[in-house]
Structure 1
């Protein structure tokens, strides 16, 4: 996990993308944000980039490759799994099955998109600040 790395946001709703970008700017996080409208384009990016992203915020209901299937693919891909990129669902899809399915993919969080701007800001702050404080296996120098 690269705490200064890019935040990958997989969201097909352009209004939600705009709101999230406003929130990140207001909160002053310096991490670059990359937005993808579907799981397939995000997966292709993660396979081709040499960058080590900080975290992934993903909707569940996405075209081409939904958030659950994307997480399964990332979790079972040895090279991507070793990057230790936290995968957090940030979605309006709230029901018990969605939450169970999300955690069955070894996601690191499941957050409901609030409807009020201040609540969205508080949720994003909580997510980012938590992961900025977390240690990950690849945060340490190699042991001889």
Structure 2
């Protein structure tokens, strides 16, 4: 895990992308953000980049390639899996089966997007601070 790397945000809703960027700007985390509208675009980037992102925040339901399918592909790709990039679901839609599916593919978290801006800010702050303090196999 590269604690100074990019935060990959996979979100198809432009309003949610705008709100997330507002939160990251206010919180002043130094990590650059890269936004992707769907899992297919994010997968293409991750397969072809030499960059080591800090973490991935992924929506669940997206066109072309949804969050669960993307997680499955990343988890089963030995080269990408060795990069130890935390994969967190961040979605407005949540049901027990989706959460079970996410954790069965070794997702490192499943968060429901808060509706209120302050709650969104608190959640993002909690997520980033947690992963900044967390050790990973490739941190040493």
TM-score (norm 1): 0.96
- How far did residue 105 of structure 1 move? 1.1
Secondary structure at 1:111 match in 2? strand
Instruction: For structure 2, list consecutive stretches of 5 or more residues without a partner in the other structure.
Output: none
**Which residue of structure 1 lines up, in the alignment, with residue 40 of structure 2?**
40
Instruction: For structure 1, list consecutive stretches of 5 or more residues without a partner in the other structure.
Output: none
TM-score (norm 2): 0.99
Secondary structure at 1:110 match in 2? strand
For each residue in 1:85-125, what CA deviation from the matched residue of structure 2 results, as whole angstroms up to 9, or x when unmatched? 00000001111111111111110000000000000000000
**Which residue of structure 1 lines up, in the alignment, with residue 122 of structure 2?**
122
Secondary structure at 2:4 match in 1? coil
Structure number with greater Rg is: 1
**Which residue of structure 2 lines up, in the alignment, with residue 53 of structure 1?**
53
**Which residue of structure 2 lines up, in the alignment, with residue 136 of structure 1?**
136
* Cα RMSD after superposing both structures: 0.4
For each residue in 1:25-56, what CA deviation from the matched residue of structure 2 results, as whole angstroms up to 9, or x when unmatched? 00010100000000000000000111000000
**After the TM superposition, which segments of 4 or more aligned residues of structure 1 sit over 4 Å from their partners?**
none
Secondary structure at 2:85 match in 1? coil
